[in-house]
Amino acid sequence: MKFQAEETPYFGLGPDLILNAIDQVGWQTTGKLVPLNSFENRVYQVGVYDEHREYDVVAKFYRPGRWSQNQLIEEHQFTFDLTEFELPVIAPLRVNEVSIFEVENFKFSIFKKVGGRAPNLEDQSVLSWIGRLIGRIHAVSVTKPFKHRPAISTGQFGRAPADFILSNDLIPNELRDAYQGLVELAITTIDSAFMEIHDAQLIRLLGDCHTGNILWMDDGPSFVDLDDAVMGPAIQDLWMLLSGDREAMEAQLRVVVSGYEQFMDFDYRQVSLIEPLRTLRIINYAGWLAQRWNDPAFKVAFPWFGSQRYWEEHIGHIREQVGLMQEGFSI
């Protein structure tokens, strides 16, 4: 592909540096180091020990240049705010009140290792349970805003990734006009949807609340990975729980909202943002892959990206979403 994405971001982050970094902040490592399935950041399961036992922790090395120190502090403080109310969010571990460490310009944090499985969202009791927890989370979220982390917008999550794709000539010439026209139509439609409820409250969000970031255990779910925490409308943390056809998703949403409303008022106008938010995610996802393409992990994980077929299907998805946004969503 003829474009220049970011430079290889994790050059120099080898096993010795990782283990030495963890030793230096207070854990004694055994030498065990297992890479976990992560692309945006580098995440490892690390063996550590003390005078009583050996156990594992999770070390997360943040992508250089993505978040500022203040933005990372806000993410961590959000998790601490939630755990103070006994909400099941996996917060970073602290050493002398510090949770963000640094080694050779790599910022990293340490987390308790937790197990679990993906929740069964076909079970209505599970959907309701998760809805109640998100309602409780949002009741804490509204108490203060993020000052440094971004808010969901078509500029950052729609136009910027689309502009990157177009300016780097990723799309075959015969598809370029179709992509550009559909993206412009989609973003205009999304902007109109947000303007219709311009006074909707924006709150601190988990941001990427899908089944991959929810671990289900015998005592219920835990939420992990708040790396995408942003400001935005509450519905952003609900719509990714939905699947199937329109009728199925509307039924699922009724169950989620019934649980949510036990702890937090729900603005039903935000239902109209589900398809616009989904469309924004689709556009942003392609730009995210493009901007990360010099990272070797992405080329291994997404070998199909950039092919003629990929762009044909991507344009088809955007076209479908334009239609779905015009149809609307209701419960």
Per-residue confidence (pLDDT) for residue 7, from 0 to 100: 63
Active site residue ranges? 208, 225
- What is the number of other CB atoms lying within 10 angstroms of the CB of residue 110? 22
* pLDDT tens, residue by residue, 197-208: 999 999 999 999
pLDDT, mean over the chain: 95
Residue 52 domain flag: yes
Residue 32 domain flag: yes
Burial 231-270 (b: 16+ CB within 10 A, else e): bbbbbbbbbbbbeeeeeebbebbebbbbbbeebbebeeeb
d(CA 200, CA 203): 10
Helix, strand, coil % in the chain, rounded to nearest 5? 45, 15, 35
Residue 158 domain flag: no
Q: Which domain holds residue 82?
A: 15-112
| Number of domains comprising the chain | 1
Per-residue confidence (pLDDT) for residue 6, from 0 to 100: 53
Residue 250 domain flag: no
Would you place residue 322 in the very low, low, confident or very high pLDDT band (cuts 50, 70, 90)?
very high
Residue 279 domain flag: no
Segment 235-261 mean pLDDT: 96
Residue 175 domain flag: no
Cβ–Cβ < 8 Å for 99, 76: yes
Burial 134-153 (b: 16+ CB within 10 A, else e): bbbbbbbbeeeebeebeebb
Partners of 130 in the β-ladder: none
* pTM of the predicted structure, to 2 decimals: 0.94
Residue 60 domain flag: yes
Per-residue confidence (pLDDT) for residue 94, from 0 to 100: 97
Q: Of 196, 331, 206, 318, give the one whose Cα is nearest residue 257.
A: 331
The CATH number of the domain holding residue 58 is 3.30.200.70
Residue 39: DSSP 8-state: S
Segment 95-111 mean pLDDT: 97
d(CA 106, CA 292): 17
Would you place residue 294 in the very low, low, confident or very high pLDDT band (cuts 50, 70, 90)?
confident
Alpha helices in the chain (DSSP H): 15-24, 69-84, 124-141, 154, 160-167, 173-196, 246-260, 274-291, 296-301, 308-327
Would you place residue 132 in the very low, low, confident or very high pLDDT band (cuts 50, 70, 90)?
very high
Residue 127 domain flag: no
Segment 170-181 mean pLDDT: 96
Per-residue confidence (pLDDT) for residue 328, from 0 to 100: 77
